[in-house]
């Protein structure tokens, strides 16, 4: 039997990048997955790939920052698959700037995306979890970053949000232990996605929700990662997904309130 057979998982930001690989991995291990992306096409593509591989998936399209999203997301899992066992808070993007140039919008947008949205999703999930006890452990995996652990120049908003995710994780581990829920976090280092690939010029920006968002890094930054990383390369989305998957296993039932860095030992 697959390790996640008969489990129901929800994964934010799973149309692309790390989230997509998480959704594919959980589905491959037997979980029914609610896939989310702000854009319909990538969400449906991930769903289609899961279905073609023999898995079960459905899309819940929309921004995690919308006030009605959390209830709709939880409802999609319960109404479609009859349960909720795994929550992965992954969605996000960056709006970097040194603090003296950072606008209120840059600050609040990133905090809303990376911290408030996971809070709302977990808050929305609590009534269902409390009312539907299980004889196995449910799992929550919140995606943080090494920026939230160590800080990073130009990322006061992102680092604050990702540090907050760790605090949220440790608090929920204490509050939800009574429900047999393990709550952990993964703090990713440099993982190669469309947000971190080496590009130049205008290609370094994409539009998300009407905002111009930086996507990609300079070749110099990529060379620095290659030079300083103990493995000599960035991580892959599949490797990042592997860390999330590990926290979803029943073998990890006595591990809760932890944040592991996934950066090849760079720090």
From the candidates 136, 158, 179, 245, give the one annotated as an active-site residue.
158
| Degrees to nearest 5, angle at CA 133 with 131 and 134 | 155
Q: How far apart are CA 225 and CA 234, in angstroms?
A: 7
Q: What is the pLDDT of residue 205?
A: 61
Q: What is the pLDDT of residue 217?
A: 58
Q: What is the pLDDT of residue 267?
A: 81
Q: What is the pLDDT of residue 227?
A: 87
Q: Write the pLDDT tens digit of every residue in 17-53.
A: 999 999 999 999 999 999 999 999 999 999 999 999 9
Q: What is the pLDDT of residue 222?
A: 73
Q: What is the pLDDT of residue 218?
A: 67
Ranges of each domain in the chain: 8-190+235-262
Nearest residue to 121 via CA among 70, 84, 164: 70
Bridge-partner residues for 217, per DSSP? Answer: 198
Q: In 3-state terms, what secondary structure has residue 174? A: helix
Report whether 45 contacts 15 (CB < 8 A): yes
Say whether 93 is catalytic: no
In this prediction, the residues of the chain whose per-residue pLDDT falls under 70 are 1, 195-218
Q: What is the pLDDT of residue 203?
A: 56
Q: Write the pLDDT tens digit of every residue in 191-225.
A: 998 766 554 454 566 566 666 666 555 677 777 77
* Yes or no: domain 8-190+235-262 corresponds to CATH 1.10.8.60: no
Model pTM score: 0.92
Q: In 3-state terms, what secondary structure has residue 229? A: coil
* Count of CB atoms situated within 10 Å of the CB of 78: 16
Q: What is the pLDDT of residue 214?
A: 63
- Cα 76 versus chain centre, distance: 18
């Amino acid at each position: 039997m697959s390790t996640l057979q008969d489990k129901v998982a929800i994964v934010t930001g799973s149309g692309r990048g790390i989230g997509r690989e998480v959704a594919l991995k959980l589905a491959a291990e037997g979980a029914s997955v609610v896939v989310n992306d702000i854009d319909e096409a990538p969400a449906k593509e991930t769903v289609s790939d899961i279905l073609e591989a023999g898995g079960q998936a459905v899309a819940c399209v929309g921004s995690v920052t919308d006030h009605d999203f959390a209830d709709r997301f939880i409802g999609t899992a319960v109404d479609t698959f009859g349960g909720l066992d795994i929550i992965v808070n992954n969605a996000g993007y960056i709006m970097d700037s040194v603090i003296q140039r950072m606008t209120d919008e840059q600050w609040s947008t990133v905090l809303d995306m990376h911290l408030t949205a996971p809070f709302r999703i977990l808050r929305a999930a609590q009534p269902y979890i409390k009312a539907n006890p299980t004889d196995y452990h449910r799992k929550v995996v919140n995606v943080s970053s090494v920026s939230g652990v160590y800080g990073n120049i130009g990322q006061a908003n992102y680092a604050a949000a990702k540090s907050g995710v760790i605090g949220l994780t440790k608090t929920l581990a204490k509050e939800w232990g009574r429900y047999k829920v393990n709550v952990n976090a993964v703090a990713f280092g440099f993982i190669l996605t469309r947000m971190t690939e080496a590009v130049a010029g205008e290609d370094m920006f994409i539009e998300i929700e009407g905002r111009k968002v930086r996507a990609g890094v300079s070749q110099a930054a990529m060379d620095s990662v290659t030079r300083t990383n103990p493995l000599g390369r960035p991580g892959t989305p599949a490797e990042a997904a592997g860390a999330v998957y590990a926290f979803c296993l029943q073998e990890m039932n006595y591990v809760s309130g932890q944040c592991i860095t996934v950066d090849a030992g760079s720090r």
